[in-house]
Structure 1
Amino acid sequence: MKTTKVVVVVLALLLCSRVTQSANILGIFSYTFGTPYLVVKPYIKALIAKGHNVTVISSVRFLPDIEGVRHIRVSNLDQAIEDIMNYNFESDYLTNKWKGALLAAGFYYNTTNAILSDLKVQSMLKDESEHFDMIVMDPTFSDSLIGFAAHFDALQVGVSAFGSSWLIDYQAGNSAPSIYRPISPMGYSRGEGLVDKWNNWIMIVEEWLMERLVYLPVQQELFRRYFSFSDATFYERRRNFSLMLINQHFSLGRVRSNVPNVIEVGGMHMAEPSVPLEPELLDFLDGAEHGAIYFSLGMEILNKWLPKNIEKNMLESFSHLKQRVVWKHELDTLPNKSDNIYLTSMTSQRLLLEHPNVKLFITHGGLLSLFEAAYAAVPMLGIPIFFDQFDNVERMKQAGVSRTIDINKVTAEQLTHNIKELLENPCYALKAKELSARFRDQPTSPLERAVWWTEYVLRHKGAPHMRMTEHEMGFVPYYSIQFFSILYGRIAFTAFIVFILTFMFVKCVLKEFRRLFRSPIS
């Protein structure tokens, strides 16, 4: 009887402890594509499993209902993706940074405004009984949404589904310029020479100007419209993230000097169970006597957006291979498709890559694809199209597991040559196995890290001790340039005074010298 009472007391204490530690968390995800939701979905589920109360603002289409979550669906986010799918892009929007920035700024304005103007969201903001301890959001170019954190006086956590950039580092207080990388890596150099570093610095200054002149003004206008806070609050809050979860991992080729509140959670999406492969596809792979190749350009890129003749060149190249090819394509059939090609509009990419007969992955270089290929130890042929993909593919190339080709210059012969090199040269498969071993060798899973640090900042009321203070974050104080400026400034000022005095003294001496030795005028 006494033992039973002790057990009841212990269980009661544990239950009370669980209740007192639970928090009200609001997730605001303005994503209009499916890929980022793959990253946050297991994270949300894990927070629910830990006993937290989670409310999620999201689109209708891409995030399915999660048990235990209060969902607030914003249908206009789904309309935004329909608009972008039907948009006729100009040919240079991917290569012209300023034109691309104007397009992206308008897109982010539409998505954030869709959330802020939604009647259900407005009802929540006006309900005085609503309370949240933490706001979880995408930190990039959706700055008006930080008004939720100010409104509820809540902690801010950023989840960056596309890795890091100088802007993410700036918002997290990670201000060492040595780690900076641009948002768009077009033209960015990975060289270590002075000219390379100068070129990169110019690129980042250009992006800083874009952020200040193009992105921020429209977000600030939305912040003023929907929240009764000053501009000072806007700028203070956007640099006040208690925690930044970034979707990357150092084992895949980027070592960063992170501050403590920046946590790498690359591969977090892989905690979600995969849907089994359809039987017909599984039979196709099992019967691949010479191995199989998987070709996919991700969830969001439609083949109709690709350069002309690329499908023709792909079909021609694949038809001459002895390997079987699984091609992710929105159509069920293609003219002149050979028998060794299997078309599928959607499949479990992770399970497909882990099939023992898959020997090569032809990919656009999206982060989630890279994590899954690295985990499965599959070499890659990269065909980057935009944004971070160029840098991602370049890192895989330097790791020795990939080759890359320009999507605008793909020929059937070039494609066949690269495929055969990757399949027949054993170095690529060996390097892929080494990369997989490094990526798998982690003390905790990415999801466990994400949840643990989320609860850490809750326990420690935002954990301000993890952040660099404001006066330490700038370039000048970070490198103690103020000390050197004072020291060398004084030396320079003293030298300047000595120079002036010397100049005046010499001038007077020369003037007197000329007067004494001037010849008399006749």
Structure 2
Amino acid sequence: MSRGFSSLGILTLLFVCLLEPKIVKSENILGIFSYTFGSSYLLIEPYLNLLVQRGHQLTIISAVTHLPHIEGAHHIRVARLDQQMQDLLDYDYEFEVTKWMEAQFVSDYFFNCSKFVLEDPGVQELIHNKSVEFSMVILEAAHTDALYGFAQHFNAPLVGIAAFGSAWNIDFLAGNSAPSVYEPMSALGYSPGLSLLEKWYNLIFITEERLVERFIYLPRQIDLYKKYFSDGAASLHDIRRRFSLILINQHFSLGRVRSNVPNLVEVAGMHLAGQPDPLGDELRAFIEGAEHGVIYFSMGLQVLEKWLPPGLPEIMINSFKKLKQRVIWKWSDGSIANNTSNVYVSGLLPQREILNHPNVKLFITHGGLLSIIEAAHYAVPILSLPLFFDQFQNTKRMEKMGVARSLEILNISQEIVVQAIEDMLNNSSYKQRALDLSERFHDQPMSPIDTAIWWTEYVLRHKGADHMRIAEQEMSLMQYYNVDIISVLFGRIGFTVLIVIFLGWKLVTLATRNLEYRFNWLMVR
């Protein structure tokens, strides 16, 4: 009897464990992702898959080609997002750009992303369907502000995903609008430093960005919001300050330490929960047959080869010919490696599995955030060739931790490339520091994907979790910045200074008048 009861108990326990992922209250969730790049979808795909596996009903608005079909989710595909990507591929990027040119380009790009989503027939049908209800709206946190109107329209909590990490604008959305000299949205022209003058410069730099956002980015997004969510009771400025949660694609162990408020949660490495593509037999044999190790060279998914400086491919291939190591190069034109036995070229490569192989000694990269995270995860030193946006800041953090070096892509030669590679391979400190960084990055109480899911469902359980937002939202500007206290402490001093200045001005005026009177009197005499 006891043996039978024991078997039944074990079977019941196993059955419960199998069902455990779905022992949550099922909620209707709307996900809106106007990305036109495949790398951003790499970040969210495992997250969305796991939400479905846990029993939630997902409606996902996305591009057609970049996000694979997620079984169990209802997809609304926006074909014009794919056209936006094609337009970007046709764009001739200039290396010599000003901050104003960059801001205008970014403004146009994200305006079109929001516009194409909102005017899509399938999306319009969803908006006007009175029977549809959602318990949460999840979207990219920055720049596509008009899409925040979905949260207002469906009266649902707003959750953001900061795919490119955090900056002052993400702090603002989360309610942490205290002035800071944290990193800007764009690193173009930004030079962080510790001196008083440099700190003032950084503050001015970020203030300029706030003005650019206020007068270039936002006005067009506000116009879209008013056009497509005319029934909204709240202004877009109010909605922007209602984020219940923002999941940030960063982690403090990667050198980006910030004073996060409770509704900012770091989930760098969330995309690593996805199943990596396997190494093919030919590529595996190439890696494992490398007596002196392998160097992996990739400028990422979203850096187009035509955007690279003229002559760079020739510099790189001629540099690789001088190495004893084998090189795997992500490049569309395989003919570039003709008569080069130590170089393997392919337009599509399983990056994670390559970096995970113990024979890979160095990663040459553009410094994109996902590539930086993967290099840290697999403990591979980095030689970075940053091009634009966040790549410069990502690279500087890795250099500061001693796991990377960088080269100016507009000022390199064969000699510079070969010397940098050989110096890094011959200096064991780069690999040791990469191992230390990887150990710190792995040492977390939960995996990044589990952290993201837990906090997402926390917001669902607590109906928006308003208690997570900083109290600044209920304070006036004067209270938040302690202007009332400053007035009490310094009011008397300031008032005294004003009196002294006033009396001094009066004395100078009287003295001047007296001198003028005496001068006139002498002239009359």
Instruction: Please give the alpha-carbon distance, in whole angstroms, between the structure 1 residues aligned to 2:508 and 2:112.
Output: 69
Instruction: Please give the alpha-carbon distance, in whole angstroms, between the structure 2 residues aligned to 1:437 and 1:335.
Output: 36
Instruction: Please tell me the residue identity of whatever aligns with 1:43.
Output: Y
Query: What residue in structure 2 maps to residue 443 of structure 1?
Result: 445
C-alpha displacement of 1:497? 2.8
Asked if 1 retains the 8 angstrom alpha-carbon contact of 2:22 and 2:53, the reply is: no
Instruction: Please tell me the residue identity of whatever aligns with 2:120.
Output: D
Instruction: Please tell me the residue identity of whatever aligns with 1:375.
Output: H
Query: What residue in structure 1 maps to residue 212 of structure 2?
Result: 210
How many residues in Structure 1 have an aligned counterpart in Structure 2? 514
Query: What residue in structure 2 maps to residue 26 of structure 1?
Result: 30
Alignment of 1:162-177 (within 5 A): 162-177=164-179
Sort the Cα spacing of 1:15 and 1:484 in 2 relative to 1 into closer, same or farther, 3 A. Answer: same
Instruction: Please give the alpha-carbon distance, in whole angstroms, between the structure 2 residues aligned to 1:91 and 1:178.
Output: 29
Instruction: Please give the alpha-carbon distance, in whole angstroms, between the structure 2 residues aligned to 1:501 and 1:372.
Output: 67
Instruction: Please give the alpha-carbon distance, in whole angstroms, between the structure 2 residues aligned to 1:488 and 1:506.
Output: 27
Query: What residue in structure 1 maps to residue 425 of structure 2?
Result: 423
Instruction: Please give the alpha-carbon distance, in whole angstroms, between the structure 2 residues aligned to 1:100 and 1:514.
Output: 60
Q: 2:76 aligns with which of 65, 72, 83?
A: 72
Q: Which runs of 5+ in 2 are unaligned?
A: none
Instruction: Please give the alpha-carbon distance, in whole angstroms, between the structure 2 residues aligned to 1:512 and 1:307.
Output: 74
Sort the Cα spacing of 1:413 and 1:128 in 2 relative to 1 into closer, same or farther, 3 A. Answer: same
C-alpha displacement of 1:490? 3.8
Larger deviation, residues 319-328 vs 164-173: 164-173
Cα deviation digits, residues 345-372 of structure 1 (max 9, x gap): 1121111011111000001011111111
- TM-score, normalised to structure 2's length? 0.91
Instruction: Please tell me the residue identity of whatever aligns with 1:110.
Output: N
Instruction: Please tell me the residue identity of whatever aligns with 2:66.
Output: F
Larger deviation, residues 387-396 vs 96-105: 96-105
C-alpha displacement of 1:16? 13
Instruction: Please tell me the residue identity of whatever aligns with 1:58.
Output: S
Alignment of 1:442-461 (within 5 A): 442-461=444-463
Query: What residue in structure 2 maps to residue 262 of structure 1?
Result: 264
Alignment of 1:120-519 (within 5 A): 120-178=122-180, 180-229=182-231, 232-334=234-336, 336=338, 338-471=340-473, 477-501=479-503, 504=506
- TM-score, normalised to structure 1's length? 0.92
Give the 3-state SS of the residue equivalent to 2:444 in structure 1: coil
Asked if 1 retains the 8 angstrom alpha-carbon contact of 2:297 and 2:329, the reply is: yes
C-alpha displacement of 1:254? 1.3
C-alpha displacement of 1:177? 3.1
Larger deviation, residues 238-247 vs 182-191: 182-191
Instruction: Please give the alpha-carbon distance, in whole angstroms, between the structure 2 residues aligned to 1:322 and 1:475.
Output: 62
Sort the Cα spacing of 1:510 and 1:69 in 2 relative to 1 into closer, same or farther, 3 A. Answer: closer
C-alpha displacement of 1:175? 2.3
Give the 3-state SS of the residue equivalent to 1:408 in structure 2: coil
Instruction: Please tell me the residue identity of whatever aligns with 2:65.
Output: R
Cα deviation digits, residues 13-38 of structure 1 (max 9, x gap): x9999687221100000000001111
Give the 3-state SS of the residue equivalent to 1:333 in structure 2: helix
C-alpha displacement of 1:509? 9.8
Cα deviation digits, residues 23-59 of structure 1 (max 9, x gap): 1100000000001111111111111122111110001
Instruction: Please give the alpha-carbon distance, in whole angstroms, between the structure 2 residues aligned to 1:290 and 1:362.
Output: 17
Cα deviation digits, residues 162-210 of structure 1 (max 9, x gap): 1011111111112233462101112323311111111111111111111
Q: 2:88 aligns with which of 84, 90, 93?
A: 84
Asked if 2 retains the 8 angstrom alpha-carbon contact of 1:134 and 1:154, the reply is: yes
Q: 1:44 aligns with which of 28, 48, 51?
A: 48
Instruction: Please give the alpha-carbon distance, in whole angstroms, between the structure 2 residues aligned to 1:19 and 1:141.
Output: 35
Asked if 2 retains the 8 angstrom alpha-carbon contact of 1:135 and 1:157, the reply is: yes
Query: What residue in structure 1 maps to residue 66 of structure 2?
Result: 62
Query: What residue in structure 1 maps to residue 101 of structure 2?
Result: 99
Asked if 2 retains the 8 angstrom alpha-carbon contact of 1:315 and 1:336, the reply is: no
Give the 3-state SS of the residue equivalent to 1:381 in structure 2: strand
Instruction: Please give the alpha-carbon distance, in whole angstroms, between the structure 1 residues aligned to 2:505 and 2:376.
Output: 68
Instruction: Please tell me the residue identity of whatever aligns with 1:402.
Output: A
Sort the Cα spacing of 1:381 and 1:497 in 2 relative to 1 into closer, same or farther, 3 A. Answer: same
C-alpha displacement of 1:326? 0.1
Larger deviation, residues 226-235 vs 57-66: 226-235
Asked if 2 retains the 8 angstrom alpha-carbon contact of 1:105 and 1:215, the reply is: yes
Cα deviation digits, residues 431-467 of structure 1 (max 9, x gap): 1111111111111000111010111111111111111
Give the 3-state SS of the residue equivalent to 1:40 in structure 2: helix
Q: Which runs of 5+ in 1 are unaligned?
A: none
Root mean square deviation, CA, Å: 2.9
Instruction: Please give the alpha-carbon distance, in whole angstroms, between the structure 2 residues aligned to 1:511 and 1:81.
Output: 74
Sort the Cα spacing of 1:501 and 1:307 in 2 relative to 1 into closer, same or farther, 3 A. Answer: closer
Give the 3-state SS of the residue equivalent to 1:359 in structure 2: strand
Instruction: Please give the alpha-carbon distance, in whole angstroms, between the structure 1 residues aligned to 2:195 and 2:474.
Output: 27
Asked if 1 retains the 8 angstrom alpha-carbon contact of 2:294 and 2:325, the reply is: yes
C-alpha displacement of 1:480? 1.8
Give the 3-state SS of the residue equivalent to 1:327 in structure 2: strand
C-alpha displacement of 1:430? 0.9
Sort the Cα spacing of 1:482 and 1:333 in 2 relative to 1 into closer, same or farther, 3 A. Answer: farther
Give the 3-state SS of the residue equivalent to 1:210 in structure 2: helix
Instruction: Please give the alpha-carbon distance, in whole angstroms, between the structure 1 residues aligned to 2:193 and 2:98.
Output: 23
Asked if 1 retains the 8 angstrom alpha-carbon contact of 2:137 and 2:157, the reply is: yes
Instruction: Please tell me the residue identity of whatever aligns with 1:59.
Output: A
Larger deviation, residues 123-132 vs 492-501: 492-501
Sort the Cα spacing of 1:402 and 1:507 in 2 relative to 1 into closer, same or farther, 3 A. Answer: closer
Instruction: Please give the alpha-carbon distance, in whole angstroms, between the structure 1 residues aligned to 2:73 and 2:89.
Output: 29
Give the 3-state SS of the residue equivalent to 1:79 in structure 2: helix
Instruction: Please tell me the residue identity of whatever aligns with 2:92.
Output: N
Asked if 1 retains the 8 angstrom alpha-carbon contact of 2:153 and 2:232, the reply is: no
Sort the Cα spacing of 1:348 and 1:27 in 2 relative to 1 into closer, same or farther, 3 A. Answer: same
Query: What residue in structure 2 maps to residue 53 of structure 1?
Result: 57
C-alpha displacement of 1:384? 0.4
Asked if 2 retains the 8 angstrom alpha-carbon contact of 1:325 and 1:341, the reply is: yes
C-alpha displacement of 1:323? 0.2
Instruction: Please give the alpha-carbon distance, in whole angstroms, between the structure 2 residues aligned to 1:291 and 1:474.
Output: 60
Asked if 1 retains the 8 angstrom alpha-carbon contact of 2:383 and 2:404, the reply is: yes
Larger deviation, residues 462-471 vs 141-150: 462-471
